[in-house]
Structure 1
Amino acid sequence: MITNTSLNDFYKRNAAPLPGGIAKEIGHFNVFEAEKLFDKKTGTRIMPYSRREYYKISWIRGKSKAEYADKVIDISENALLFATPKIPYNWVPADSDQTGMFCIFTADFLTPHKAGVSLDDLPIFQPGQVPVFQLDAEESKEIEYIFRKMQRELGADYKFKYDLLRNLVLELIHYGQKLQPMQAISTAQNASERISSLFIELLERQFPLESMNQRLNLRTAKDYADRLAVHVNHLNKVLKEVTGHTTTQIISNRVIQEAKILLKQTNWNIAEISYTLGFDDLSHFSNFFKKQTSFTPATFRA
Protein backbone atom coordinates (compact mmCIF):
# COMPACT_ATOMS: atom_id res chain seq x y z
CA MET A 1 0.00 0.00 0.00
CA ILE A 2 1.18 3.53 -0.78
CA THR A 3 0.33 6.41 1.54
CA ASN A 4 0.59 10.09 0.74
CA THR A 5 2.32 12.64 2.90
CA SER A 6 3.41 16.21 2.34
CA LEU A 7 7.05 17.09 1.75
CA ASN A 8 7.25 19.02 5.03
CA ASP A 9 5.71 16.12 6.97
CA PHE A 10 8.11 13.72 5.27
CA TYR A 11 11.12 15.81 6.26
CA LYS A 12 9.87 16.04 9.86
CA ARG A 13 9.11 12.32 10.08
CA ASN A 14 12.55 11.35 8.83
CA ALA A 15 14.41 14.13 10.66
CA ALA A 16 15.70 15.27 7.28
CA PRO A 17 16.39 18.92 6.53
CA LEU A 18 15.09 20.62 3.44
CA PRO A 19 17.74 20.62 0.70
CA GLY A 20 20.27 23.37 1.32
CA GLY A 21 19.64 26.57 -0.61
CA ILE A 22 16.24 25.48 -1.90
CA ALA A 23 14.56 28.52 -0.32
CA LYS A 24 16.56 30.72 -2.71
CA GLU A 25 15.48 28.74 -5.74
CA ILE A 26 12.48 28.95 -8.04
CA GLY A 27 10.49 25.76 -7.76
CA HIS A 28 11.48 22.62 -5.88
CA PHE A 29 13.72 19.61 -6.48
CA ASN A 30 14.68 16.56 -4.46
CA VAL A 31 15.91 13.02 -4.96
CA PHE A 32 15.05 9.88 -2.96
CA GLU A 33 16.01 6.22 -2.67
CA ALA A 34 12.89 4.09 -3.11
CA GLU A 35 13.75 1.39 -0.55
CA LYS A 36 14.15 3.97 2.22
CA LEU A 37 10.50 4.98 1.82
CA PHE A 38 9.18 1.49 2.61
CA ASP A 39 8.00 0.83 6.16
CA LYS A 40 8.42 -2.94 6.67
CA LYS A 41 6.43 -2.87 9.93
CA THR A 42 3.27 -1.55 8.30
CA GLY A 43 3.90 -2.72 4.75
CA THR A 44 3.31 0.79 3.39
CA ARG A 45 5.26 3.04 1.10
CA ILE A 46 5.43 6.75 1.76
CA MET A 47 4.86 9.11 -1.17
CA PRO A 48 6.72 12.26 -0.02
CA TYR A 49 5.16 14.64 -2.51
CA SER A 50 1.86 15.76 -3.98
CA ARG A 51 1.05 14.28 -7.38
CA ARG A 52 -0.87 17.46 -8.05
CA GLU A 53 2.30 19.57 -8.06
CA TYR A 54 5.36 17.54 -8.99
CA TYR A 55 6.90 15.90 -12.01
CA LYS A 56 8.72 12.67 -11.23
CA ILE A 57 11.43 10.61 -12.89
CA SER A 58 11.97 7.11 -11.48
CA TRP A 59 14.70 4.52 -11.94
CA ILE A 60 12.98 1.24 -10.99
CA ARG A 61 14.61 -2.07 -10.13
CA GLY A 62 12.37 -5.07 -9.56
CA LYS A 63 9.08 -6.40 -10.88
CA SER A 64 6.13 -4.02 -10.86
CA LYS A 65 3.33 -2.61 -13.02
CA ALA A 66 2.52 0.88 -14.22
CA GLU A 67 -1.23 1.27 -14.73
CA TYR A 68 -2.69 4.03 -16.89
CA ALA A 69 -6.34 4.48 -17.85
CA ASP A 70 -6.25 2.23 -20.92
CA LYS A 71 -2.79 0.71 -20.58
CA VAL A 72 -0.90 -1.62 -18.25
CA ILE A 73 2.88 -1.95 -18.53
CA ASP A 74 4.68 -4.89 -16.96
CA ILE A 75 8.10 -3.92 -15.58
CA SER A 76 10.30 -6.98 -15.34
CA GLU A 77 13.58 -5.60 -13.97
CA ASN A 78 15.16 -2.23 -14.78
CA ALA A 79 13.06 0.63 -16.09
CA LEU A 80 12.87 4.41 -16.35
CA LEU A 81 9.46 5.99 -15.68
CA PHE A 82 8.37 9.60 -16.24
CA ALA A 83 5.32 11.10 -14.54
CA THR A 84 3.57 14.43 -14.92
CA PRO A 85 1.04 15.90 -12.46
CA LYS A 86 -1.43 16.18 -15.35
CA ILE A 87 -1.66 12.46 -16.16
CA PRO A 88 -2.62 10.06 -13.34
CA TYR A 89 -1.26 6.54 -13.06
CA ASN A 90 -0.77 3.79 -10.49
CA TRP A 91 2.58 2.15 -9.78
CA VAL A 92 2.09 -1.32 -8.31
CA PRO A 93 5.21 -3.03 -6.87
CA ALA A 94 5.18 -6.82 -7.09
CA ASP A 95 6.82 -7.19 -3.67
CA SER A 96 8.62 -5.26 -0.92
CA ASP A 97 12.05 -5.70 -2.49
CA GLN A 98 11.71 -2.80 -4.92
CA THR A 99 14.83 -0.66 -5.19
CA GLY A 100 15.85 2.31 -7.25
CA MET A 101 15.72 6.08 -7.01
CA PHE A 102 13.49 8.92 -8.12
CA CYS A 103 13.60 12.68 -8.31
CA ILE A 104 10.73 15.14 -8.06
CA PHE A 105 10.60 18.70 -9.35
CA THR A 106 8.15 21.44 -10.22
CA ALA A 107 7.82 22.95 -13.68
CA ASP A 108 9.24 26.20 -12.30
CA PHE A 109 12.45 24.43 -11.32
CA LEU A 110 13.37 23.99 -14.99
CA THR A 111 12.15 27.43 -16.12
CA PRO A 112 15.65 28.94 -16.64
CA HIS A 113 16.48 26.15 -19.09
CA LYS A 114 13.23 25.73 -20.98
CA ALA A 115 13.31 29.04 -22.86
CA GLY A 116 9.53 29.32 -22.82
CA VAL A 117 8.85 25.69 -23.77
CA SER A 118 6.36 23.94 -21.48
CA LEU A 119 7.40 20.61 -19.99
CA ASP A 120 4.08 19.25 -21.21
CA ASP A 121 5.12 20.04 -24.79
CA LEU A 122 7.90 17.47 -24.55
CA PRO A 123 6.98 14.13 -26.17
CA ILE A 124 7.72 12.20 -22.99
CA PHE A 125 5.01 14.06 -21.04
CA GLN A 126 2.29 13.98 -23.72
CA PRO A 127 -1.08 12.31 -22.97
CA GLY A 128 -1.42 8.93 -24.64
CA GLN A 129 2.29 8.16 -24.58
CA VAL A 130 3.81 5.23 -22.68
CA PRO A 131 6.46 6.99 -20.57
CA VAL A 132 8.01 3.75 -19.27
CA PHE A 133 11.26 2.50 -20.79
CA GLN A 134 12.98 -0.85 -20.32
CA LEU A 135 16.69 -0.54 -19.53
CA ASP A 136 19.39 -3.09 -20.19
CA ALA A 137 22.18 -3.61 -17.66
CA GLU A 138 24.46 -0.96 -19.18
CA GLU A 139 21.68 1.63 -19.51
CA SER A 140 20.63 0.96 -15.92
CA LYS A 141 24.18 1.69 -14.73
CA GLU A 142 24.20 4.97 -16.66
CA ILE A 143 20.87 6.04 -15.16
CA GLU A 144 21.97 5.05 -11.66
CA TYR A 145 25.12 7.14 -12.11
CA ILE A 146 23.02 10.23 -12.93
CA PHE A 147 20.80 9.70 -9.89
CA ARG A 148 23.77 9.12 -7.59
CA LYS A 149 25.36 12.28 -8.93
CA MET A 150 22.13 14.18 -8.17
CA GLN A 151 22.26 12.81 -4.63
CA ARG A 152 25.86 13.90 -4.15
CA GLU A 153 25.37 17.35 -5.64
CA LEU A 154 22.23 17.97 -3.57
CA GLY A 155 24.29 17.59 -0.40
CA ALA A 156 27.24 19.64 -1.69
CA ASP A 157 28.10 23.26 -0.91
CA TYR A 158 28.68 24.22 -4.54
CA LYS A 159 27.19 27.65 -5.16
CA PHE A 160 25.65 26.71 -8.51
CA LYS A 161 24.55 23.17 -7.63
CA TYR A 162 20.94 23.76 -8.65
CA ASP A 163 22.05 24.75 -12.14
CA LEU A 164 23.94 21.46 -12.29
CA LEU A 165 20.89 19.57 -10.98
CA ARG A 166 18.71 21.15 -13.68
CA ASN A 167 21.14 19.88 -16.29
CA LEU A 168 21.00 16.38 -14.80
CA VAL A 169 17.17 16.40 -14.90
CA LEU A 170 17.28 17.46 -18.53
CA GLU A 171 19.82 14.72 -19.23
CA LEU A 172 17.37 12.14 -17.87
CA ILE A 173 14.53 13.60 -19.96
CA HIS A 174 16.55 13.48 -23.17
CA TYR A 175 17.88 10.01 -22.31
CA GLY A 176 14.32 8.77 -22.00
CA GLN A 177 13.14 10.44 -25.21
CA LYS A 178 15.78 8.52 -27.15
CA LEU A 179 14.60 5.14 -25.81
CA GLN A 180 11.86 2.92 -27.22
CA PRO A 181 8.72 2.94 -25.01
CA MET A 182 7.59 -0.37 -23.51
CA GLN A 183 4.56 -2.12 -24.96
CA ALA A 184 1.30 -2.12 -23.02
CA ILE A 185 -0.29 -5.48 -22.29
CA SER A 186 -3.99 -6.36 -22.59
CA THR A 187 -6.16 -3.79 -20.83
CA ALA A 188 -9.49 -5.65 -20.69
CA GLN A 189 -9.19 -6.97 -17.14
CA ASN A 190 -10.27 -4.39 -14.54
CA ALA A 191 -10.04 -1.64 -17.17
CA SER A 192 -13.32 0.00 -16.15
CA GLU A 193 -12.36 0.18 -12.47
CA ARG A 194 -8.92 1.54 -13.37
CA ILE A 195 -10.28 4.23 -15.70
CA SER A 196 -12.88 5.26 -13.12
CA SER A 197 -10.30 5.38 -10.32
CA LEU A 198 -7.83 7.43 -12.33
CA PHE A 199 -10.57 9.81 -13.48
CA ILE A 200 -11.54 10.49 -9.85
CA GLU A 201 -7.87 10.99 -8.94
CA LEU A 202 -7.40 13.45 -11.80
CA LEU A 203 -10.57 15.29 -10.81
CA GLU A 204 -9.48 15.58 -7.18
CA ARG A 205 -6.04 16.84 -8.20
CA GLN A 206 -7.75 20.06 -9.28
CA PHE A 207 -8.85 20.76 -5.70
CA PRO A 208 -8.86 22.43 -3.24
CA LEU A 209 -8.61 25.90 -4.76
CA GLU A 210 -6.58 27.72 -2.14
CA SER A 211 -5.59 30.88 -4.00
CA MET A 212 -7.14 33.22 -6.54
CA ASN A 213 -4.05 32.56 -8.64
CA GLN A 214 -5.23 28.96 -9.11
CA ARG A 215 -7.74 28.14 -11.79
CA LEU A 216 -9.67 25.01 -12.65
CA ASN A 217 -8.32 24.00 -16.06
CA LEU A 218 -10.22 20.75 -16.62
CA ARG A 219 -13.90 21.60 -16.96
CA THR A 220 -15.41 19.26 -19.54
CA ALA A 221 -15.65 15.52 -20.10
CA LYS A 222 -13.39 15.90 -23.13
CA ASP A 223 -10.73 17.67 -21.04
CA TYR A 224 -10.51 14.62 -18.79
CA ALA A 225 -10.74 12.09 -21.61
CA ASP A 226 -7.82 13.79 -23.38
CA ARG A 227 -5.66 13.61 -20.24
CA LEU A 228 -6.54 9.95 -19.73
CA ALA A 229 -5.98 9.25 -23.43
CA VAL A 230 -9.37 7.56 -23.90
CA HIS A 231 -12.32 8.49 -26.09
CA VAL A 232 -14.83 10.72 -24.34
CA ASN A 233 -17.70 8.33 -25.14
CA HIS A 234 -15.77 5.44 -23.61
CA LEU A 235 -15.02 7.46 -20.47
CA ASN A 236 -18.68 8.36 -20.12
CA LYS A 237 -19.77 4.73 -20.64
CA VAL A 238 -17.31 3.46 -18.02
CA LEU A 239 -18.26 6.06 -15.40
CA LYS A 240 -21.95 5.44 -15.97
CA GLU A 241 -21.40 1.70 -15.42
CA VAL A 242 -19.19 2.11 -12.35
CA THR A 243 -20.75 5.11 -10.59
CA GLY A 244 -24.21 5.46 -12.09
CA HIS A 245 -23.42 9.04 -13.13
CA THR A 246 -22.19 10.62 -16.34
CA THR A 247 -18.81 12.32 -16.58
CA THR A 248 -20.46 15.74 -16.75
CA GLN A 249 -22.58 15.03 -13.66
CA ILE A 250 -19.56 13.99 -11.61
CA ILE A 251 -17.57 17.06 -12.68
CA SER A 252 -20.50 19.39 -12.01
CA ASN A 253 -21.12 17.91 -8.56
CA ARG A 254 -17.46 18.41 -7.58
CA VAL A 255 -17.41 21.98 -8.94
CA ILE A 256 -20.58 22.81 -6.98
CA GLN A 257 -19.05 21.30 -3.83
CA GLU A 258 -15.99 23.54 -4.21
CA ALA A 259 -18.14 26.57 -5.06
CA LYS A 260 -20.10 26.14 -1.84
CA ILE A 261 -16.89 25.90 0.18
CA LEU A 262 -15.47 29.05 -1.41
CA LEU A 263 -18.72 30.98 -0.94
CA LYS A 264 -18.98 30.05 2.74
CA GLN A 265 -15.33 29.92 3.83
CA THR A 266 -13.58 32.71 1.90
CA ASN A 267 -14.03 36.43 1.46
CA TRP A 268 -13.44 36.21 -2.29
CA ASN A 269 -16.07 38.04 -4.27
CA ILE A 270 -18.34 35.99 -6.53
CA ALA A 271 -16.57 37.09 -9.70
CA GLU A 272 -13.25 35.85 -8.27
CA ILE A 273 -14.82 32.52 -7.29
CA SER A 274 -16.36 32.22 -10.75
CA TYR A 275 -12.96 32.78 -12.39
CA THR A 276 -11.08 30.26 -10.23
CA LEU A 277 -13.71 27.64 -11.01
CA GLY A 278 -13.03 28.05 -14.71
CA PHE A 279 -15.95 30.25 -15.76
CA ASP A 280 -15.07 33.14 -18.06
CA ASP A 281 -18.45 34.76 -17.59
CA LEU A 282 -20.00 35.54 -14.19
CA SER A 283 -23.54 35.07 -15.50
CA HIS A 284 -22.61 31.59 -16.74
CA PHE A 285 -21.42 30.65 -13.25
CA SER A 286 -24.54 32.12 -11.62
CA ASN A 287 -26.83 30.20 -13.98
CA PHE A 288 -24.84 27.00 -13.44
CA PHE A 289 -24.96 27.38 -9.65
CA LYS A 290 -28.68 28.11 -9.60
CA LYS A 291 -29.46 25.17 -11.87
CA GLN A 292 -27.56 22.82 -9.57
CA THR A 293 -28.72 24.19 -6.19
CA SER A 294 -31.87 26.31 -6.82
CA PHE A 295 -30.01 29.27 -5.23
CA THR A 296 -28.02 32.09 -6.72
CA PRO A 297 -24.44 32.32 -5.42
CA ALA A 298 -25.29 35.53 -3.53
CA THR A 299 -28.35 33.96 -1.88
CA PHE A 300 -26.40 30.87 -0.88
CA ARG A 301 -23.61 32.97 0.63
CA ALA A 302 -26.09 35.04 2.63
Structure 2
Amino acid sequence: MKKLSVHHQGILKVEEDDPLTLKVFTEQDFTSRIIVGEVYKSSFFSIFIITGGSMLVKHNLREFLVKENSLLFIMPSTIYEFTEVSADFTVVGSVFSVDYMSQTGIILNTSSVVEVMTGAYQPYYAINIEERDLLLNLQEVLKKALAEEQTVAFLPEIKKHSFLSLFYHAASIYARYNVSHKVKLNRREELTIGFLRLLAKHYKEERSVKYYADRLFVTPKHLTQMLKEGTGRTTGSFIDRAVIVGAKVLLRDPSLNISQVAQELNFADQFTFAKYFKKHTGITPSQFRAAH
Protein backbone atom coordinates (compact mmCIF):
# COMPACT_ATOMS: atom_id res chain seq x y z
CA MET A 1 0.00 0.00 0.00
CA LYS A 2 1.28 3.44 -0.87
CA LYS A 3 2.12 5.54 2.16
CA LEU A 4 0.36 8.92 2.03
CA SER A 5 2.31 11.99 3.05
CA VAL A 6 0.93 15.07 4.77
CA HIS A 7 1.71 18.35 3.03
CA HIS A 8 2.05 20.90 5.81
CA GLN A 9 2.50 23.83 3.43
CA GLY A 10 -1.22 23.82 2.69
CA ILE A 11 -3.60 22.67 -0.01
CA LEU A 12 -3.27 25.90 -1.90
CA LYS A 13 0.20 27.33 -1.80
CA VAL A 14 0.14 31.08 -1.36
CA GLU A 15 2.61 33.60 -0.01
CA GLU A 16 3.60 32.12 3.36
CA ASP A 17 5.31 35.35 4.38
CA ASP A 18 2.10 37.36 3.96
CA PRO A 19 0.10 37.13 7.20
CA LEU A 20 -2.86 38.96 5.63
CA THR A 21 -3.36 36.64 2.68
CA LEU A 22 -6.60 36.90 0.70
CA LYS A 23 -6.70 35.26 -2.75
CA VAL A 24 -9.28 34.23 -5.33
CA PHE A 25 -8.83 30.79 -6.94
CA THR A 26 -10.26 28.86 -9.91
CA GLU A 27 -10.23 25.17 -10.79
CA GLN A 28 -6.90 25.69 -12.58
CA ASP A 29 -5.36 26.97 -9.35
CA PHE A 30 -7.02 24.22 -7.34
CA THR A 31 -6.12 21.22 -9.51
CA SER A 32 -2.55 22.44 -10.10
CA ARG A 33 -1.91 22.46 -6.35
CA ILE A 34 -3.24 19.05 -5.30
CA ILE A 35 -2.28 15.48 -6.09
CA VAL A 36 -5.12 12.96 -6.06
CA GLY A 37 -4.61 10.35 -3.34
CA GLU A 38 -2.30 12.40 -1.13
CA VAL A 39 -3.20 13.80 2.26
CA TYR A 40 -3.06 17.52 2.95
CA LYS A 41 -3.21 19.86 5.92
CA SER A 42 -4.06 23.39 4.85
CA SER A 43 -2.46 26.46 6.39
CA PHE A 44 -5.39 28.63 5.33
CA PHE A 45 -9.17 28.88 5.37
CA SER A 46 -10.95 28.40 2.05
CA ILE A 47 -14.50 28.75 0.74
CA PHE A 48 -15.09 26.93 -2.56
CA ILE A 49 -18.17 27.04 -4.78
CA ILE A 50 -18.38 23.91 -6.95
CA THR A 51 -19.86 24.92 -10.31
CA GLY A 52 -19.41 21.69 -12.30
CA GLY A 53 -18.29 18.07 -12.15
CA SER A 54 -17.57 16.24 -8.91
CA MET A 55 -14.84 15.40 -6.41
CA LEU A 56 -14.40 12.81 -3.66
CA VAL A 57 -13.10 14.37 -0.46
CA LYS A 58 -12.15 12.73 2.84
CA HIS A 59 -12.45 15.02 5.86
CA ASN A 60 -11.56 13.64 9.30
CA LEU A 61 -11.96 10.10 7.95
CA ARG A 62 -15.44 10.79 6.51
CA GLU A 63 -15.85 10.74 2.72
CA PHE A 64 -18.04 13.18 0.80
CA LEU A 65 -18.98 13.25 -2.88
CA VAL A 66 -18.81 16.97 -3.63
CA LYS A 67 -20.95 17.72 -6.67
CA GLU A 68 -22.08 20.62 -8.84
CA ASN A 69 -23.91 23.42 -7.00
CA SER A 70 -22.32 22.93 -3.61
CA LEU A 71 -20.24 24.74 -1.05
CA LEU A 72 -17.01 23.34 0.43
CA PHE A 73 -15.12 24.74 3.42
CA ILE A 74 -11.42 24.00 3.94
CA MET A 75 -10.03 24.68 7.41
CA PRO A 76 -6.44 25.03 8.67
CA SER A 77 -5.00 22.25 10.80
CA THR A 78 -7.61 19.80 9.47
CA ILE A 79 -6.69 16.75 7.38
CA TYR A 80 -8.13 16.33 3.87
CA GLU A 81 -7.66 13.77 1.13
CA PHE A 82 -8.88 14.26 -2.45
CA THR A 83 -9.38 10.77 -3.82
CA GLU A 84 -11.00 11.55 -7.15
CA VAL A 85 -11.57 14.66 -9.28
CA SER A 86 -13.69 14.47 -12.45
CA ALA A 87 -12.39 15.82 -15.74
CA ASP A 88 -15.21 18.39 -15.92
CA PHE A 89 -14.62 19.65 -12.36
CA THR A 90 -14.94 23.44 -12.06
CA VAL A 91 -14.71 25.58 -8.95
CA VAL A 92 -14.14 29.15 -7.81
CA GLY A 93 -13.25 30.19 -4.31
CA SER A 94 -11.42 32.37 -1.85
CA VAL A 95 -8.42 31.47 0.30
CA PHE A 96 -7.62 33.58 3.34
CA SER A 97 -5.39 33.51 6.39
CA VAL A 98 -6.26 33.48 10.09
CA ASP A 99 -4.73 36.93 10.43
CA TYR A 100 -6.85 38.32 7.60
CA MET A 101 -10.00 37.01 9.33
CA SER A 102 -8.87 38.59 12.59
CA GLN A 103 -8.18 41.91 10.91
CA THR A 104 -11.75 42.07 9.62
CA GLY A 105 -13.09 41.40 13.13
CA ILE A 106 -14.76 38.09 12.24
CA ILE A 107 -13.45 36.30 15.33
CA LEU A 108 -14.92 38.95 17.61
CA ASN A 109 -18.19 39.66 15.85
CA THR A 110 -20.29 36.58 16.50
CA SER A 111 -19.77 33.39 18.46
CA SER A 112 -21.77 31.33 15.91
CA VAL A 113 -18.97 31.82 13.39
CA VAL A 114 -16.54 30.21 15.82
CA GLU A 115 -17.94 26.76 15.05
CA VAL A 116 -17.21 27.25 11.35
CA MET A 117 -13.61 28.14 12.14
CA THR A 118 -12.90 25.07 14.26
CA GLY A 119 -13.62 22.48 11.59
CA ALA A 120 -16.19 20.86 13.90
CA TYR A 121 -18.84 20.55 11.23
CA GLN A 122 -19.70 18.92 7.94
CA PRO A 123 -17.50 20.72 5.38
CA TYR A 124 -19.77 20.21 2.38
CA TYR A 125 -23.26 21.57 1.65
CA ALA A 126 -25.52 21.31 -1.38
CA ILE A 127 -26.90 24.73 -2.35
CA ASN A 128 -29.74 25.82 -4.61
CA ILE A 129 -29.37 27.83 -7.81
CA GLU A 130 -30.23 31.14 -6.14
CA GLU A 131 -27.63 30.60 -3.43
CA ARG A 132 -25.02 29.53 -5.97
CA ASP A 133 -25.62 32.60 -8.16
CA LEU A 134 -25.49 34.93 -5.17
CA LEU A 135 -22.21 33.45 -3.96
CA LEU A 136 -20.74 33.58 -7.47
CA ASN A 137 -21.73 37.24 -7.80
CA LEU A 138 -20.15 38.06 -4.44
CA GLN A 139 -17.05 36.12 -5.47
CA GLU A 140 -16.83 38.18 -8.66
CA VAL A 141 -17.20 41.43 -6.71
CA LEU A 142 -14.33 40.35 -4.44
CA LYS A 143 -12.20 39.33 -7.44
CA LYS A 144 -12.65 42.76 -9.02
CA ALA A 145 -11.87 44.51 -5.74
CA LEU A 146 -8.61 42.57 -5.38
CA ALA A 147 -7.66 43.46 -8.96
CA GLU A 148 -8.19 47.21 -8.51
CA GLU A 149 -5.28 49.63 -8.67
CA GLN A 150 -3.97 50.82 -5.32
CA THR A 151 -4.95 54.38 -6.25
CA VAL A 152 -8.67 53.62 -5.97
CA ALA A 153 -10.22 55.52 -3.06
CA PHE A 154 -11.28 53.41 -0.05
CA LEU A 155 -9.79 50.29 -1.63
CA PRO A 156 -8.98 48.54 1.71
CA GLU A 157 -12.56 49.10 2.84
CA ILE A 158 -13.94 47.83 -0.49
CA LYS A 159 -11.85 44.66 -0.22
CA LYS A 160 -12.79 44.10 3.40
CA HIS A 161 -16.54 44.50 2.91
CA SER A 162 -16.56 42.45 -0.29
CA PHE A 163 -14.89 39.64 1.64
CA LEU A 164 -17.20 39.98 4.66
CA SER A 165 -20.29 39.79 2.46
CA LEU A 166 -19.05 36.58 0.83
CA PHE A 167 -17.95 35.06 4.14
CA TYR A 168 -21.17 35.71 6.02
CA HIS A 169 -23.41 34.51 3.20
CA ALA A 170 -21.42 31.27 3.11
CA ALA A 171 -21.49 31.01 6.91
CA SER A 172 -25.26 31.53 6.91
CA ILE A 173 -25.65 28.36 4.83
CA TYR A 174 -23.67 26.49 7.49
CA ALA A 175 -25.81 28.00 10.24
CA ARG A 176 -29.09 27.15 8.52
CA TYR A 177 -28.03 23.55 7.94
CA ASN A 178 -26.96 23.03 11.52
CA VAL A 179 -30.23 24.25 13.00
CA SER A 180 -31.62 20.81 12.16
CA HIS A 181 -28.32 18.87 12.05
CA LYS A 182 -26.54 19.56 15.31
CA VAL A 183 -22.92 18.51 15.08
CA LYS A 184 -21.49 16.56 18.02
CA LEU A 185 -18.28 18.25 19.09
CA ASN A 186 -15.32 16.54 20.69
CA ARG A 187 -13.64 17.93 23.80
CA ARG A 188 -11.00 19.89 21.87
CA GLU A 189 -13.64 21.54 19.70
CA GLU A 190 -15.82 22.37 22.71
CA LEU A 191 -12.85 24.02 24.43
CA THR A 192 -11.95 26.01 21.33
CA ILE A 193 -15.49 27.29 20.90
CA GLY A 194 -15.85 28.01 24.60
CA PHE A 195 -12.57 29.92 24.69
CA LEU A 196 -13.35 32.05 21.63
CA ARG A 197 -16.79 32.90 22.98
CA LEU A 198 -15.27 33.99 26.29
CA LEU A 199 -12.60 35.96 24.45
CA ALA A 200 -15.21 37.82 22.41
CA LYS A 201 -16.84 38.99 25.66
CA HIS A 202 -13.82 39.64 27.87
CA TYR A 203 -10.79 40.55 25.73
CA LYS A 204 -11.03 44.19 26.82
CA GLU A 205 -10.70 43.32 30.49
CA GLU A 206 -8.76 40.06 30.58
CA ARG A 207 -5.46 39.21 28.87
CA SER A 208 -4.45 36.34 31.16
CA VAL A 209 -4.42 32.80 29.78
CA LYS A 210 -5.15 31.60 33.32
CA TYR A 211 -8.38 33.59 33.43
CA TYR A 212 -9.81 31.79 30.39
CA ALA A 213 -8.47 28.41 31.46
CA ASP A 214 -10.06 28.80 34.91
CA ARG A 215 -13.41 29.71 33.36
CA LEU A 216 -13.21 26.56 31.24
CA PHE A 217 -12.06 24.38 34.19
CA VAL A 218 -8.76 23.35 32.58
CA THR A 219 -5.12 24.25 33.11
CA PRO A 220 -3.52 26.99 30.97
CA LYS A 221 -1.18 24.37 29.50
CA HIS A 222 -4.06 22.10 28.50
CA LEU A 223 -6.05 24.95 26.95
CA THR A 224 -3.07 26.07 24.88
CA GLN A 225 -2.36 22.51 23.78
CA MET A 226 -5.97 21.99 22.62
CA LEU A 227 -6.02 25.30 20.74
CA LYS A 228 -2.66 24.57 19.14
CA GLU A 229 -3.85 21.17 17.92
CA GLY A 230 -7.15 22.50 16.60
CA THR A 231 -6.18 25.85 15.10
CA GLY A 232 -2.38 25.95 14.92
CA ARG A 233 -2.31 28.96 17.27
CA THR A 234 -1.69 29.43 21.00
CA THR A 235 -4.05 30.89 23.59
CA GLY A 236 -1.81 33.91 23.98
CA SER A 237 -1.74 34.64 20.26
CA PHE A 238 -5.55 34.63 20.13
CA ILE A 239 -5.72 37.02 23.08
CA ASP A 240 -3.11 39.36 21.62
CA ARG A 241 -4.83 39.36 18.22
CA ALA A 242 -8.22 40.16 19.80
CA VAL A 243 -6.77 43.04 21.80
CA ILE A 244 -4.92 44.49 18.81
CA VAL A 245 -7.98 44.25 16.55
CA GLY A 246 -10.06 45.93 19.25
CA ALA A 247 -7.41 48.60 19.71
CA LYS A 248 -7.34 49.38 15.99
CA VAL A 249 -11.12 49.79 15.95
CA LEU A 250 -10.96 52.19 18.89
CA LEU A 251 -8.01 54.13 17.45
CA ARG A 252 -10.06 54.82 14.33
CA ASP A 253 -12.62 56.63 16.50
CA PRO A 254 -11.59 60.32 16.51
CA SER A 255 -13.69 61.02 19.60
CA LEU A 256 -11.30 58.96 21.74
CA ASN A 257 -7.78 60.03 22.64
CA ILE A 258 -5.07 57.40 23.12
CA SER A 259 -5.35 57.54 26.89
CA GLN A 260 -9.07 56.74 26.63
CA VAL A 261 -8.35 53.86 24.27
CA ALA A 262 -5.85 52.46 26.78
CA GLN A 263 -8.42 52.81 29.56
CA GLU A 264 -11.10 51.09 27.45
CA LEU A 265 -8.76 48.12 26.97
CA ASN A 266 -7.88 48.00 30.68
CA PHE A 267 -4.21 49.01 30.39
CA ALA A 268 -2.60 50.72 33.39
CA ASP A 269 -1.80 53.81 31.30
CA GLN A 270 -1.29 54.91 27.72
CA PHE A 271 2.47 54.23 27.87
CA THR A 272 1.91 50.57 28.78
CA PHE A 273 -0.67 50.34 25.99
CA ALA A 274 1.68 51.99 23.48
CA LYS A 275 4.46 49.53 24.33
CA TYR A 276 2.09 46.56 23.93
CA PHE A 277 0.69 47.91 20.65
CA LYS A 278 4.12 48.53 19.15
CA LYS A 279 5.34 45.08 20.20
CA HIS A 280 2.55 43.42 18.22
CA THR A 281 2.24 45.80 15.25
CA GLY A 282 5.67 47.41 14.85
CA ILE A 283 4.25 50.93 15.12
CA THR A 284 2.92 53.15 17.90
CA PRO A 285 -0.79 53.92 18.40
CA SER A 286 -0.10 57.48 17.27
CA GLN A 287 1.54 56.28 14.06
CA PHE A 288 -1.39 53.92 13.39
CA ARG A 289 -3.90 56.74 13.96
CA ALA A 290 -1.98 59.09 11.66
CA ALA A 291 -2.00 56.47 8.89
CA HIS A 292 -5.73 55.82 9.23
Which TM-score tier does this pair reach, normalised by the shorter chain? 0.3 to 0.5
Does 1 or 2 have the higher relative contact order (CA < 8 Å, sep 6+)?
Answer: 1
TM-score (norm: length of structure 2): 0.47
- Mark the structure with the bigger radius of gyration: 1
TM-score (norm: length of structure 1): 0.46
